[in-house]
Amino acid sequence: MLPDFHIHTSFSQDSSAPARAQIERCMALGMEELCITDHHDYATGMEEELFLLDFPSYLSGLSLLRDEYSGRIRVNIGVELGLQVRIREYLGRLASTLDVDYIIGSSHFIDQMDPYYPSFFEGRSEREAYERYFEVSLQRVRALDCFDSFGHLDYVVRYGPDTNRNYSYAAYRDYIDPILRALVEKGTALECNTAGFKYGLGHPNPTEDILRRYRELGGEQVTLGSDAHAPEHIGYSFGQAREILLDCGFRFLTVYRQRKPQYLSL
């Protein structure tokens, strides 16, 4: 099975899965490598400081597991950074000093709210909420260079009042294309996140049309992750994702080791 490069463990506040259990599940699925990418996100309001990693504990704990499983499965160490322009200098310093293999950059908190909570959608239409999400994501992609791959580009759609019933790439092309162009210009990878299938969207995050458009614009680096917070979700719908990526024109999957891209045949 293709390697899963977006896995959460109990080092993240929203997962209770021990890192060992996640690694064992990857081995059971026949993966040759994986990457654990727990949250480090400066939240505000109700979640303030909930998603800050204890890096010394995190890195030492995963390093021990990496050594223990050496020769059986490659355990890469990563982090999912919450992108925010207001702390760009901090994020840049952090990314340059962390001894990790891979950094996902994701947009979670928009106007101090995570779309996970219904309050994000209060007082505005679903379209206004989606547009705002993409506007802020574009600002972040343009301003920040602290990440290797942009995570779940249309994350907001998982939690919309109508989810993706009124959503498509075509309907939001003017908001999405600038994000894709910025990623291509910077040589930044785009993540294919299969949690969209788990959430009943029938598509990955981002959708097939967005993945295809990224490829059309010259984007070649695509990463793959389940966003698993529990062992049973690791490698979720990876077979389907592989077929989607091939259909979109990708021939290689990008993985990262010591922040350097490596390419695996799809």
180's CB contacts (< 8 A; 6+ apart) are 190, 210, 213, 214, 217, 219
- Whole-model pTM: value is 0.96
CATH number at residue 74: 3.20.20.140
Q: Is the pLDDT of residue 35 over 90?
A: yes
Per residue in 144-188, pLDDT tens?
999 999 999 999 999 999 988 999 999 999 999 999 999 999 999
Q: Is the pLDDT of residue 127 over 50?
A: yes
Structure tokens at 119: 């309050």
- How many domains does the structure of the chain reveal? 1
82 three-class SS: strand
List b or e across 85-96, with b for residues whose CB sees 16 or more CB atoms inside 10 angstroms. eeeeeebeebbe
Per residue in 39-71, pLDDT tens?
999 876 544 566 889 999 999 999 999 999 999
| Distance from C-alpha of 162 to C-alpha of 149, rounded to nearest angstrom | 28
- Structural domain range at position 114: 4-265
Per residue in 221-237, pLDDT tens?
999 999 999 999 999 99
Q: How distant is the alpha carbon of residue 202 from its chain centre?
A: 18
